[in-house]
Amino acid sequence: MTPGPENAPGFWLDTPEHRTWLAEDARKQFAFFRTALRPEGGFHTLEWNGTPRPDPLQELHCTTRMIHSYALAELCGVGGAEMVEHGMRYLAEGHRDGEGWAWGVEGQTPVDRRRMGYGHVFVLLAASSAHLAGHEDAPALIDAATEVLEQHFWEDGPGLIGPDFGPDWQPLDAYRGMNANMHGAEALMAAFEATGREDYLEKAGSILWFFLGLKAPAYGYRIPEHYFTDWTVDAEHDGDPMFRPAGTTPGHSLEFARLLLQHWDLAGRPDSGAPETARKLVERALADGWAEAGGLHYTVSLGGAPLLRDRYWWPVTEGIGALASLIKLERREEDEIWYRKLWSFAAEHFIDHERGGWYPGLDAAGQPTETQFKGKPDIYHALQATLYPLAPGLSRQGTTLPAL
């Protein structure tokens, strides 16, 4: 099943065949993940066939991403209000743990009470998207998440999101990271779109400037992931293989490039050099990350050598989003070649055309496998890969979303 007319001249974004294919994949994803609703609260992680996995643990970023994704379903006209309401209730009754939200919950009981910046920014994203979709509790959740982020996570000096905390709000360690900040920029821009408050856009800009205006050029447009307390680069860090792997992550460079263009657009497209920076990030990430057999290596060194060669679905989705943004700004043939290559690889290797959803990883032969990620871990990344190309602008929020 091809995602577009294979040998057609021009750009797939301009063809009804490709746009129809994108809309159909989005609808299949929405249909597949609706079965994740857990009657007693929250959401199941699903096996490849759509049955619930037995693990009772629900992590904060998974709950919030489901809320966000089905808020997009509501905005696209295919119905997501029930899923949003279910997730919002679970945030309040399951994850809410005093001042802040617990990272891991089983049933109604927090079992991992860490206060993670990565998780808290997704609370803000979920609240902002739910607000755009009309949920009555969303404005209060935006305010609550903003207050916690500003009081505990935001560091005024560097203008960045800082450490993670234990349940007593004592820092867990000296680590500072790029990943929470990248998704922080995403959430802050969503909050700006939901509320119109300029301070959200300013904070997102501060994050983008540090990582993309200062750090990326100093490292050949690779973005260091890990930092010491004073925000100098920790080039030797090798921690959690999912959230803190050694090296730099091409998928994050692609994601950051798209977010930079979104911020530039929301800010009125100033003469800031953002499109040029985004292009350099995309070109470097694809040159470093593309594997000989296709797909993107998970991590590379700060010099560009492959480190973790596992090929996951989400870096491909982020490449699609970044390239779609570049193509919307300027029709370049080299971008179209990469856009078609990524979609064609995804359609052949990652997408479950029969049941919906995307497989999380590939083995050496290019067949679906489970290594770091089990089941079909979420709808968030793959859904956005289908919606960004369909949206007329550089944002996925509000009235810019397509009707499916």
Q: What angle do CA 299, 353, 340 make, to 5 degrees?
A: 55
How far is it, in rounded angstroms, from Cα 114 to Cα 287? 37
How far is it, in rounded angstroms, from Cα 82 to Cα 37? 10
DSSP label of 155: E
How far is it, in rounded angstroms, from Cα 148 to Cα 67? 19
Neighbour order of strands in the sheet with 361-362 = 311-312, 361-362, 368-369
Catalytic residue among 18, 61, 252, 349: 252
How far is it, in rounded angstroms, from Cα 189 to Cα 184? 9
Largest distance between two CA atoms of the chain: 59
> What residues contact residue 375 under an 8 Å CB cut-off, 6+ apart?
45, 46, 47, 48, 53, 360
Radius of gyration of the chain (CA): 20
Tokens representing 263 are: 């911020």
What DSSP letter does each residue of 13-60 carry, written as one string? GG-HHHHHHHHHHHHHHHHHHGGGB-TTSSB--B-TTSPBPS--EEEH
For residue 75, give Cα distances in angstroms to 21, 100, 207, 261, 399.
19, 28, 28, 22, 8
For residue 88, give Cα distances in angstroms to 63, 65, 111, 121, 141.
9, 11, 19, 15, 9
3-state secondary structure (DSSP) of residue 293:
coil
Residue 381 annotated as catalytic: yes
Tokens representing 351 are: 């997408």
Helices and strands (DSSP H and E) totals, the chain: 13, 10
How far is it, in rounded angstroms, from Cα 227 to Cα 223? 11
Residue 252 annotated as catalytic: yes
Alpha helices in 76-116 (DSSP H): 81-90
Give me the active site residues, please: 252, 381
